[in-house]
Amino acid sequence: MEPGWEGNLREAEAVFLDVQLGPDMVDDAKRYVPIDTSRLHDSLDHEVNYRDGAPPELQVGSFPDEDGDVEYAAAVELGFHGEEIVQEHERRTRHGTTTVREHIRHANQPEEPYLRPALYQERYG
CA dihedral 35, 36, 37, 39 (to 10 degrees): -40
Q: What is the reported pTM?
A: 0.81
Q: For residue range 5-58, list pLDDT tens digits in order.
A: 888 888 999 999 999 999 999 999 999 999 999 999 999 999 999 888 788 999
pLDDT tens per residue across span 83-115? 989 999 999 989 999 999 999 999 999 999 999
54 DSSP assignment? S
- CA-nearest of 11, 8, 29, 13 to 115 is 29
Domain boundaries, the chain: 5-77+113-119
